[in-house]
């Protein structure tokens, strides 16, 4: 969690820093601001959960700041620390969401009691927000799956027949013909790794959160419809009937809603369909192209209605031109050699004015392909089975080296490539006679960290191996693919914990790595044939 201390006097900010039991309260980042203007900028940039503010400050004072927070960051919990015992100030603080009003000089016990109350309130509301999002998922899943399929067929150019159009009209109340139709496309793979990590255990939660916001902003099906492109699971597509001038404000409202829900804004590729429905497929392709060819080096706009770059502009910077030097540096095992080899490729990139999202994705895919080929050439392993391929496909979103604004971070790209090359070098120079091997190390790590939020993508990143390689080798060595191994490990440990009648099932779920009790019960029943509660009951009956 993050906290922001706002006071025009530095010694007061320092005193609050010293008095707070920040680590005990789970607050690991402390920010500072000297007035309301600096505070608003810090809140917009960092979204702190807790704000501690003075009331009388030069520039924008605490009263104006509280009003701003109530409008732009209502989820933040505000504590007022003031030198004025003024009824009007107290009333203003309460009116605009202040949780407590502390008088200077503040005592440590008083401060930490208020902080604890604010943290608990934020956590309770965050839990409620997540619960509401999960309930929305259930509601959305009640919609027939073929609705998304029908719309996917439409934009893919496979559903323009009159019967198909009439079915869309009957099922979704969409117009059979429309004078003006616009299309917007966004991709969840354009979100940063930190955001995607929050939804790793429940990737559909992210999809449905975005869809729900879109649905809220579209008043009726006659205005427009949003859906998940089933052929491109990371894509959300929005069809909008009306003028182009009305689409941009709608997308801005959607991004405002997303900022409140997932603390991120998305990029959209936008195109107009001149002849609906026959021209919808071409309009979708154009919107998707505009999204992927946006310039990831600028943040001036979120909506892309023209092509900003061409796909072939950076062909000379492909990784395969540097493959041999990278492979030799990788096998040297020296971080300095790897850094030099990577810098040789990165340096020309730093001179570019335009780098498209498409190009970033191609670099990451090329890196994965090169490293996978090195490992396949070095280790004689069988081709991936259909089951292994299915496990690979369970990872819905590729993590690109983008920041929270959806822009390219060259430092992340550099770090990603250096780490993967160093680990690939370890795998390439691995000798079977040594005491360890990568799959055993992965199994040991999984055994030690099964309570955490793990995924195959995370394991691949940690051990710097391709997901496909881990899938093949892990199953070859242990008889289970990695996700099955993790699930079996968690459920076996849950069975041991269920022997303790004082432990609640929801607590056991968390202890073995499942944050959602319902999902834990579903997995448990799938593996054991009965629910956790029924399993505990059989233990009780056996011991009675």
pLDDT single digits (tens) 421-452: 888 887 777 655 444 578 888 998 999 888 88
pLDDT tier, 391 (very low <50, low <70, confident <90, very high otherwise): very low
Burial (CB count <10 Å: 0-12, 13-18, 19+), residue 317: middle
Mean pLDDT (whole number) for 506-521: 87
Residue 387 has pLDDT above 50, yes or no: no
Closest by CA position to 171, among listed 142, 149, 147, 139: 147
Rounded CA-CA distance 73/76 in Å is 6
Rounded CA-CA distance 328/425 in Å is 9
Q: What is the 3-state secondary structure (H, E, C) of 259-303?
A: HHHHCCCCCEEEEEECCECCCHHHHHHHHHHHHHCCECCCCCCCE
Contact between 236 and 210 under an 8 Å Cβ cutoff? The reply is yes
Report the run of H or E that residue 113 belongs to, with start and end: helix 108-141
Q: At what angle do helices 108-141 and 203-217 cross, to 10 degrees?
A: 80
- 38-42, 329-333, 481-485: least confidently modelled range: 329-333
pLDDT tier, 395 (very low <50, low <70, confident <90, very high otherwise): very low
Question: Model-level pTM?
Answer: 0.55
Tokens representing 543? 């011991």
- Of 3.40.190.10, 3.30.70.270, 3.40.50.2300, 3.40.50.150, the CATH number of 143-304 is 3.30.70.270
Rounded CA-CA distance 471/484 in Å is 11
Closest by CA position to 82, among listed 74, 69, 94, 68: 94
Q: Do domains 2-125 and 143-304 have the same CATH topology?
A: no
pLDDT single digits (tens) 74-124: 999 999 998 888 888 888 888 888 888 889 888 999 999 999 999 999 999
Residue 478 has pLDDT above 50, yes or no: yes
Please provide the CATH number assigned to the domain covering 484-543.
1.10.10.60
The domain limits of the chain are 2-125, 143-304, 315-432, 484-543
Instruction: For tokens 């789970």, name the residue.
Output: 26
Q: Which fold has domain 2-125?
A: Rossmann fold (3.40.50)
User: Edge-to-edge, what's the strand order for the sheet holding 303-304?
Assistant: 224-228, 235-241, 181-187, 268-273, 303-304
pLDDT single digits (tens) 296-340: 998 678 999 887 655 444 555 778 888 888 888 888 888 899 999
Rounded CA-CA distance 199/206 in Å is 6
Residues 6 or more apart whose CB falls under 8 angstroms from that of 122 comprise 1, 49, 50, 75, 76, 77
Across the chain, mean pLDDT equals 83
Angle at 227 between CA 226 and CA 229, to 5 degrees: 135
At residue 169, the pLDDT reads 77
pLDDT tier, 351 (very low <50, low <70, confident <90, very high otherwise): confident
Q: Is 499 helix (H, G, I), strand (E, B) or coil?
A: coil
Rounded CA-CA distance 328/314 in Å is 24
């Amino acid at each position: 969690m993050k906290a922001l201390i706002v006071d025009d006097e530095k010694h007061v900010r320092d005193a609050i820093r010293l008095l707070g039991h920040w680590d005990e309260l789970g607050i690991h980042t402390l920010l500072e601001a000297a007035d309301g203007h600096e505070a608003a900028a810090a809140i917009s940039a960092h979204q702190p959960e807790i704000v501690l503010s003075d009331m009388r400050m030069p520039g924008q004072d605490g009263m104006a700041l509280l009003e701003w927070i109530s409008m732009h960051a209502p989820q933040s919990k505000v504590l007022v620390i003031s030198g004025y015992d003024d009824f009007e100030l107290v009333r203003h603080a309460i009116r605009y969401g202040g949780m407590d009003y502390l008088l200077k000089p503040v005592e440590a016990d008083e401060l930490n009691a208020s902080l604890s109350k604010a943290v608990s309130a934020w956590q309770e509301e965050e839990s409620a927000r997540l619960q509401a999002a999960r309930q929305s998922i259930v509601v959305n899943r009640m919609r027939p799956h073929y609705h998304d399929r029908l719309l996917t067929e439409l934009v893919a150019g496979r559903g323009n027949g009159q019967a198909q159009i009439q079915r869309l009209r009957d099922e979704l109340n969409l117009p059979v013909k429309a004078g003006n139709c616009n299309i917007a496309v966004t991709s969840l793979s354009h979100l940063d790794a930190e955001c995607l990590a929050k939804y790793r255990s429940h990737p559909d939660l992210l999809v449905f959160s975005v869809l729900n916001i879109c649905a809220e902003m579209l008043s009726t099906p006659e205005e427009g419809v949003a859906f998940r492109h089933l052929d491109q699971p990371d894509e959300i597509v929005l069809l909008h009937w009306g003028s182009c001038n009305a689409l941009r404000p709608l997308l801005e409202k959607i991004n405002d809603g997303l900022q409140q829900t997932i603390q991120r804004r998305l990029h959209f590729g936008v195109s107009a369909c001149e002849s609906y429905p026959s021209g919808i497929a071409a309009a979708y392709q154009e919107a998707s192209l505009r999204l992927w060819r946006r310039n990831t080096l600028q943040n001036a706009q979120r909506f892309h209605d023209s092509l900003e770059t061409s796909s072939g502009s950076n062909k000379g910077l492909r990784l395969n031109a540097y493959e041999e030097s990278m492979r030799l540096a990788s096998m040297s095992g020296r971080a300095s050699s790897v850094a030099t080899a990577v810098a040789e490729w990165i340096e020309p990139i730093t001179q570019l004015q335009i780098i498209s999202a498409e190009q970033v994705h191609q670099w990451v895919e090329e890196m994965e392909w090169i490293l996978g080929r090195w490992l396949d050439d070095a280790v004689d392993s069988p081709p991936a089975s259909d089951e292994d391929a299915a496990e690979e496909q369970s990872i819905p979103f590729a993590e690109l080296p983008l920041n929270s604004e959806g822009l390219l971070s060259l430092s992340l790209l550099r770090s990603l490539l250096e780490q993967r090359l160093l680990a690939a070098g370890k795998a390439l120079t691995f000798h079977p006679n040594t005491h360890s091997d990568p799959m055993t190390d992965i199994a040991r790590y999984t055994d030690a960290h099964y309570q955490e939020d793990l995924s195959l993508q995370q394991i691949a990143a940690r051990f710097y191996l391709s997901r496909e390689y881990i899938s093949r080798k892990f199953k070859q060595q242990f008889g289970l693919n990695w996700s099955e191994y993790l699930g079996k490990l968690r459920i076996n440990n849950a069975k041991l914990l269920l022997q303790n009648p004082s432990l609640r099932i929801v607590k056991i779920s968390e202890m073995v790595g499942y944050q959602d009790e319902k999902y834990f019960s579903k997995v448990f029943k799938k593996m054991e044939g009965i629910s956790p509660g029924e399993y505990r009951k059989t233990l009780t009956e056996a011991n009675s």
